[in-house]
Amino acid sequence: MDLNDLLPYLIGAPVLVAGAVAAVVVRRRRPGAPTTDERTAPPAGTTSSTTAPPEAPAPDVATPAATTDAAAPGVEVPDTAELTTAPPLETPAPTAGRLRRLRERLARSGSPLGTRLLGVLSRDHLTEDDWDELEETLLLADVGAGPTDELIAALRTRVRVDGLRDGAQAREVLREQLLALVDPTLDRSLRTSPTTGEDGTRVPAVVLVVGVNGTGKTTTVGKLARVLVADGSSVVLGAADTFRAAAADQLETWGSRVGVPTVRSDRDGADPAAVAFDAVRTGVADGADVVLVDTAGRLQNKAGLMDELGKITRVITRTAPLSEVLLVLDATTGQNGLNQARVFGEVAGVTGIVLTKLDGTAKGGIVVAVQRELGVPVKLVGLGEGPDDLAPFDPEAFVDGLLEG
C-alpha cells in the first residue's frame, strides 16, 4: 500500500478520536445525578405485578442549555434526596415536673381563688359578712355547694378553737382544708400496662377518650400519646371520630410527630365502632402497649350518639378490656361540665377526668366538684397550648399553686 492509499486513514483518525472525546464529554453526569438506568427505574417503594425491562438508552443528542439537566459552571445542584427527607421525630418532654409549670402560671396570674380566700382569712376579726364573702368566693370558683359548706364549717371550727394569729397560719389552715377537699388519697395513676388474655395473647391497654365538642378532646388524645411515648410506651391511635372531617387528619398529624401510627377510615361517616375495633386489633398485632381511641364529640342531650358510644364500648371489649375511659372537660365551663360528667358517667363508665384550660382560671374548684359528682379522680390537666402541656394531676402542687398568688 502506497502513501496515496494511506492518506484517507491518516486524515480520518483525528476525526474519530475527537468524536469519541466529545461523546465522553456529553455523557459525563454531574455528581449525584441519576444514571440512565436510575432514571428509567420505577420509584422506590412502588410495586408491580410484572417488571418491564429497562428501555434502551436514548442516543446522545445535544440539547439546548435550557432543557439539559447538566449544571451550569459554578452552580451547585441540590441533592433531591435531601429535599424529600422526612423531618426528624420529636422527643416529647419528660412528664416529671410538668405540674410545676401550672403552679408557676397560677402564681403569675394572681391565683384569684387562693388570694381572695387568704385575703378574707387574714383579717383581724372575722364577721358574718366575712364568712359570707368566703362562701361566695368558693361558689364562684365552682367548688360546689356541698364542698363549700364543708370547707366553711371546717374553717369556722379551726378559727374558733385555735384562732388565726397571722397570715402564715391562715395560709396553713386553708391549705390543709383545700387539700382535704381535693382528696390526695384518690388513685390518679393511668392504667396503661398491657395484659395477657385468656388464650395467652398479649393484649394492649385500651384507653377510650370521650367528651363533648369544643373541649379539646382530639388535641388531648394527641398530647396523651406524647405523654405515653415520653414514659416509654408504644402506642396506636384510633381515629373513631369519623363525623368531623378534619379529626382523623389532626390525630394523624399528632401521631406522626412522635412516630405513632394512626388507624383511620378512608371515608367520612364510617362506622366509628369498626374503626375502634380495627385500632385495637392493630394494637394486638403490633404488640403495642396502649391503644388510644378518639371518639366524636357528643352532646349529652343526643340520645342516639350516646347509644353509639355504648356500641363502641361493646365492640372494643370483644377483643380487649377497656383499661380507662377518660372524660375530657373544659375547666371553664363550670356547672355545665358537671352535667356532661354525669351523663357520660352513666353511659361510658368514666374512670378518670382530664381537665383542659385549667391554667390561670378562677374556676379551679371544678376539680373538687367533678370528683364529687362522679366519684372518680382528675388524672390529667391541660396547662396551655403547647404540645407537652398535659400533665399528671398532683393535688399538693395544685393547691400550692392556688395559694401562691
The strand pair at 290-294 and 205-210 is best described as parallel
- Residue 23 annotated as binding? no
- Nine cell digits for residue 111: 391565683
- Residue 98 annotated as binding? no
Query: CB of 144 within 8 A of CB of 368?
Result: yes
- Nearest partner of 118 among 66, 159, 163, 171, judged by Cα: 171
- Residue 310 annotated as binding? no
68-to-62, 73, 190, 232, 367 alpha-carbon distances in Å: 9, 13, 61, 51, 68
Tell me the CA end-to-end span of the chain in Å, nearest whole number: 112
- Residue 215 annotated as binding? yes
- Residue 85 annotated as binding? no
- Residue 283 annotated as binding? no
- Nearest partner of 151 among 181, 109, 118, 121, judged by Cα: 181
Question: In 10 A of CB 251, how many CB atoms?
Answer: 26
- Residue 290 annotated as binding? no
- Residue 50 annotated as binding? no
Whose grid coordinates read 361493646? 314
- Residue 294 annotated as binding? yes
- Residue 262 annotated as binding? no
Query: CB of 383 within 8 A of CB of 389?
Result: yes
- Residue 296 annotated as binding? yes
- Residue 357 annotated as binding? yes
CA pair distance 13, 385, nearest whole angstrom: 77
Residues 6+ positions from 152 with CB-CB distance below 8 Å: 131, 134, 135, 138
- Residue 40 annotated as binding? no
- Residue 216 annotated as binding? yes
- Residue 241 annotated as binding? no
Residues annotated within the binding site are 211-218, 294-298, 356-359
Residues annotated within the binding site for GTP are 211-218, 294-298, 356-359
